[in-house]
Amino acid sequence: MISKALIDEFEKIAGSENIFTDKTDRVAYSYDAAVLDAVMPALVVRPVHNEALGQIVRLCNDNRLPLTVRGSGTNLSGGTVPSAEGIVVVTNALQKILEINTADMLVVVQPGVVTAKLAAAVEAKGLFYPPDPGSQAVSTIGGNVAENAGGLRGLKYGVTRDYVMGIEFFDVNGELVKTGSRTVKCATGYNLTGLMVGSEGTLGVFSEITLKLIPKPVHYKAMMAVFDKMDDASQAVAAIIAAHIVPATLEIMDNFTIRAVEDFSKAGLPTDAAALLLIETDGHPAQTEEDAAKVESICRQNRATSIHVAQDAAERDKVWLARRNALAALAKLKPTLVLEDATVPRSRIPEMVREIQAIGSQYDLPIGIFGHAGDGNLHPTILTDKRNKKEWERVEAAIEAIFDKALAMGGTLSGEHGTGIAKARFLEKETTPATIVYSKRVKKALDPHNILNPGKIIG
């Protein structure tokens, strides 16, 4: 139970209007988008400037209060489920785009800036910020950096990590640390930026982030390839990559997902198709057209029954919006949706798809498959009801079986959703015991009292 005197201290820093003590207010910060039990925080604080953010971190450390920093709470791994009696620090009042520098092609932002707003602001200046998580309309840049978020364009453009030039963050004592620089190249000091990206709020609290921008592609071509068999679609994915063509986006959807998405979005998807590939090439017009022609031919060689090229921007946007709504569409169908993101080397996509289907049969569970197939990042999705204990046991076993298959293929537990609480116990499967010990030593050195988002990543 947090004392009145301590609440007063938080009020002095953040202002009474930015302190939430009522249960009805706090409950919204007790969970995130992962399927995990909610934990009620003792207090929610909303700093409105960076100085307050640093002072809050220091106050928490001085009083050994667990602190969970939260952007929009859309992460899928339990990264913002707080500790019991802990503090949640919300960044949604720190949402200034501080600078868009078109000459140096960079942008400097506060952590609470919403991803899509940043993308739109730089696009208005003719520049491009590629990382586009499906949640971009609500997710924050701080959350994206802390999770190393990916998105639909990861295949060609990489993930958030590839755009972070520098971070200013508060260490556990509330001291400001600066990493990286505004230069394209920087080999000065330890790569602390690298350490912070994907650190899920466990090593420091970001206050300012400098991101690289690139020129906006001048041309694009979007198409939808329809298949009678899921295996043909996944073979086409592997063949496109093996032909060394790198579309901006190469997404797969199985019939289960197609029907849910079409029902939700009315985008005109063929609901009788066994599988779809949604593909976009972009860049210089000649290269874009050449790549698109090759992709089309490879899809046909792999028995695509039809290929539909978007005729205009409206048609293209409609299909991509429908794809971005896949999770929301599926979530409507059952009380509990478990979305995984085990990722495999791209050549193993057909095999991984078959393994997921076999696991579905083995555990008697419908597992929908969609995701960023072009970069090996599938999202097997299990629709269930967590209150059905027997079924939930099968779900947990199926998830572990999916992880095991991905790791056996040289894959990883998470392509983009992070470790959080959800995957912490599996980390050793992918690494070594020494890796866990090493990571725990880093954490102990930087956060001796374990107040920064305890329980995440390394448990």
Ligand X SMILES: Cc1cc2nc3c(=O)[nH]c(=O)nc-3n(C[C@H](O)[C@H](O)[C@H](O)COP(=O)(O)OP(=O)(O)OC[C@H]3O[C@@H](n4cnc5c(N)ncnc54)[C@H](O)[C@@H]3O)c2cc1C
Q: Which residues contact ligand X (rule: CB under 6 A)?
A: 32-33, 68-76, 79-80, 91, 111, 133-135, 139-140, 142-144, 146-147, 149-151, 200-201, 205-206, 327-328, 416-417, 453
Comparison of 55 and 72: residue with beta carbon closer to ligand X = 72
- What SS3 class is residue 107? strand
- C-beta of 68: minimal distance to ligand X in Å? 6
- C-beta of 392: minimal distance to ligand X in Å? 21
- What SS3 class is residue 333? coil
- C-beta of 414: minimal distance to ligand X in Å? 9
Question: Is 262:346 a contact under the CB 8 Å cutoff?
Answer: no
Q: Which of 123, 112, 216, 104 is nearest to 165 (CA)?
A: 104
C-alpha dihedral, 352 to 355 to 357 to 359, nearest 10°:
-140
Structure tokens that stand for 286 in this block:
């000649």
Looking up tokens 């946007």 gives 317
- C-beta of 259: minimal distance to ligand X in Å? 18
CA torsion sign, 74 to 80 to 81 to 85?
negative
- C-beta of 93: minimal distance to ligand X in Å? 12
Alpha-carbon gap, residue 214 to 122, rounded angstroms = 10
Q: In the beta sheet, which residues pair with residue 210?
A: 108, 166
Alpha-carbon gap, residue 334 to 355, rounded angstroms = 24
Q: Which of 168, 167, 139 is nearest to 151 (CA)?
A: 139
- C-beta of 35: minimal distance to ligand X in Å? 12
Return the axis-axis angle of helices 349-362 and 230-242, rounded to nearest 10°: 150
Name 390's Cβ contacts closer than 8 Å, sequence gap at least 6. Answer: none
Comparison of 160 and 235: residue with beta carbon closer to ligand X = 160
**39 φ/ψ angles, rounded to the nearest 5 degrees:** -130, 125
Comparison of 132 and 296: residue with beta carbon closer to ligand X = 132
C-alpha dihedral, 24 to 25 to 27 to 30, nearest 10°:
-170
Structure tokens that stand for 410 in this block:
């040289």
Question: Is 149:416 a contact under the CB 8 Å cutoff?
Answer: yes
- C-beta of 301: minimal distance to ligand X in Å? 29
Pairing status of strand 87-90 against strand 43-45: parallel
- C-beta of 339: minimal distance to ligand X in Å? 8
Alpha-carbon gap, residue 57 to 50, rounded angstroms = 11
Comparison of 130 and 151: residue with beta carbon closer to ligand X = 151
- C-beta of 53: minimal distance to ligand X in Å? 8
- C-beta of 277: minimal distance to ligand X in Å? 17
Comparison of 88 and 269: residue with beta carbon closer to ligand X = 88
C-alpha dihedral, 126 to 131 to 134 to 139, nearest 10°:
-90
Question: Is 139:145 a contact under the CB 8 Å cutoff?
Answer: no
Comparison of 260 and 298: residue with beta carbon closer to ligand X = 260
Q: Which residue is nearest to ligand X (CB)?
A: 143
- C-beta of 377: minimal distance to ligand X in Å? 8
Question: Is 138:121 a contact under the CB 8 Å cutoff?
Answer: no
From residue 349, how far is each of 198, 236, 294 by CA, in Å? 25, 10, 20
Comparison of 158 and 270: residue with beta carbon closer to ligand X = 158
Alpha-carbon gap, residue 40 to 29, rounded angstroms = 7
